[in-house]
Homo-oligomer: A and B are copies of this chain.
Amino acid sequence: MPEHVSTRTDLFERHREVLDRAARAAVERDYWSPFPESPSTSVYGEEAPKRGEEAFRAQLDRPFVLDGHPGSGTVDPGEKSPYGFPLGVTYPRVGVDEALAAAKAATRAWRDAGPDTRAGVAAEILHRINAASFEIAHAVHHTTGQPFVMAFQAGGPHAQDRGMEAVAYAWQEQLRHPATARWTKPQRKGDPLVMDKKFTPVGRGVALTVACNTFPTWNGYPGIFASLVTGNPVVVKPHAGAVLPLAISVRIAREVLAEAGFDPNLVILATEAPEERTAAEYAVHPDVRIVDFTGSTAFGEWLEANARQAAVYTEKAGLNTVVVDSTDDYAGMLRNLAFSLSLYSGQMCTTPQNILVPRDGFPTDRGTKTADEFAADLGQALDKLLGDPARAAGTLGAIVNDGVRDRLDKAASLGRTVRPSAPVEHPEYPDAVLRTPLVARLDPDADRDTYTREWFGPVSFVIGTDSTGRSLEIFRETVREHGAMTASVYSTSEEVLAAAEEAALDAGVHLSENLHGAVFVNQTAAFSDFHGTPANPAAGAALTDPAFVAGRFFTLQSRRHADPAGRQ
């Protein structure tokens, strides 16, 4: 047996327990994680933080090497840390046709390896990515602007969890039909008909992952691993502003693939310069059969309309909505909302934007609060959360790009601000751009055009309505039409909660209820919470469910008589 063949088998056996556990977790949906979320030396080792930072620093201002990668020359995506310095990393340049030819040439052995081997290789890749969590955390921190602990968690273990979740779904989906079966059909006279059948999962074709600037790994891994495990090569096209976290991931994937005797070109990095638009070129190429995309609604819809030869999975944008009806923990609600608005300066696809509140007041444990009072109290909760600059920097992170800053200025110019955004000085990086959330006070009718657009970044609206009933109507209508990644409701009434659940089913969005504590609407847990849903226009897929993996492969069948008796 050649060495790599035993390596392949070893990898499946080595990770079998975690794969089985992951598959069970996705079905049970209790808490489970294979990758510890704490950036603690007691978990990751005494040297891990230092080594991770060194690895990151050592990569700056030089070419990123990927052995055996197709293409020639280098490309500079112009990555710049939101904390104020250029990364100076260049990456291999590869043309669209070169990349696709290399990916296709790598496919057949991967197909023939079967689902178990592919899942084992993918689990090993994630295992090694986990060991590089500190290096990746620095890369995420300095491309997305996420605060460091968040960059570690969301860009590291939580992203790896989502990757493993996709591995588990993709692996299990291919096992839903047996590899072989015997079919015995009784006949009215004589012997039964007996056929032997084989069932083989075959990948759809080359997969393209178009990643985003803010969550390159968290949003990138699910599609990458779902495609890989279902037998497809993957071309990873990072956002020009956040290449490094995915480049490290691709390097690790290629190393594991090569060690297991597969062609490393099953995972290719397609870096582009900022002015290039290669995603659109790849997406309509006849050889690209799967597209995973996270980013703007405009390009997501373009992909859905134009990448006709491919299965397209998108995460776009929407109107994340909070319906406030009543609470018996007013302070807890305000703290929870203030943190949700502040985390990573609202630069999450899950940050609440539209907060619907009864204009003339709603009951709380601190008495009745009008929409104006609530907006003012939310502003105070934000001030309190972000009062200390060092702590504020650890929550806000940095503004990822000028687009977010411009949108914030535009929101301020609406003239409806009740809580203005303010700059915060970063204790370590004087050139970083940090901003606290802006809260504006809107009218449900006069300002409909304003709040039915997405304001990605630290911009939220308190919208005073006639009643909770009217709030639920607006919620239902606007989310059904414009989409949402998240929704939440606050109420002490089971009737109102039931009505909100009904409205959420009608609108087609997941709902969080009465979050007063340490769970936030913008966070979802792999193996338990679905992230997004194609039930509303904000996304074309959920992370991760069977529909996310089922279209990435086909089960092909052959059959023959088990016995010449079948000829009769």
A interface, CB within 8 angstroms of B: 27-31, 38, 111, 173, 176-178, 181-188, 193, 195, 197-200, 202, 204, 304-305, 308, 329, 332, 497, 501, 504-505, 508-519, 525, 528-530, 533-535, 542, 545-547, 550-551, 554-561, 566-568
Contact = CB atoms under 8 A, between A and B. Distances in A.
A568 B529 contact: no
8 contacts: A29-B199, A202-B535, A305-B308, A501-B558, A529-B557, A533-B555, A534-B551, A542-B555
B29 A518 contact: no
A546 B550 contact: yes
A178 B512 contact: no
A559 B31 contact: no
Nearest to A305: B308
Classify the interface of chain A: helix, strand, loop or mixed. mixed
Given A512-B558, A557-B529, A559-B529, A566 B519 contact: yes
A497 B198 CA distance: 13
A505 B111 contact: yes
A36 B353 CA distance: 58
Given A27-B176, A557-B510, A188 B38 contact: yes
Contact of A29 (B178, B512, B546, B567): B178
Given A111-B505, A555-B545, A557-B510, A567 B182 contact: no
A185 B508 contact: no
Given A508-B202, A567-B329, A568-B517, A183 B560 contact: no
A559 B185 contact: no
Contacts of A183: 29-31, 525, 528
A342 to B, nearest CB: 19
Nearest to A531: B557
Contact of A547 (B550, B557, B559): B550
Contacts of A516: 561, 566-567
B560 A512 contact: yes
B31 A185 contact: yes
A185 B32 CA distance: 8
Nearest to A527: B183
A567 B560 CA distance: 62
Given A534-B554, A542-B555, 6 more contacts: A31-B185, A111-B505, A508-B554, A511-B558, A535-B556, A551-B551
Nearest to A176: B546
B567 A332 contact: yes
**Centre residue among A173, A518, A533 by max chain B CB count within 10 A:** A518
Contacts of A554: 508, 533-535, 542, 547
A305 to B, nearest CB: 6
Contacts of A173: 546
B193 A519 contact: yes
A556 B505 contact: yes
Given A535-B202, A556-B509, A30 B184 contact: yes
Given A29-B177, A193-B519, A568-B517, A556 B510 contact: yes
A566 B517 contact: yes
A567 B330 CA distance: 12
Question: Which 10 A-B pairs rank lowest in CB-CB distance, beginning with the nearest?
Answer: A513-B560, A535-B554, A517-B567, A29-B181, A547-B550, A31-B185, A511-B558, A516-B567, A510-B557, A550-B550
B528 A556 contact: no
Given A329-B567, A547-B551, A504 B29 contact: no
Contacts of A514: 560-561
A542 B27 CA distance: 25
A30 B182 contact: yes
A556 B530 CA distance: 8
Contacts of A567: 329, 332, 516-517
Nearest to A332: B567
B202 A27 contact: no
A534 B304 CA distance: 18
B557 A519 contact: no
A515 B559 CA distance: 9
Contacts of A202: 505, 508, 535
A556 B508 contact: yes
Nearest to A510: B557
Nearest to A566: B517
A308 B497 CA distance: 34
A540 B549 CA distance: 16
Given A512-B560, A558-B512, A178 B545 contact: no
A530 B559 contact: no
A27 B177 contact: yes
Nearest to A200: B505
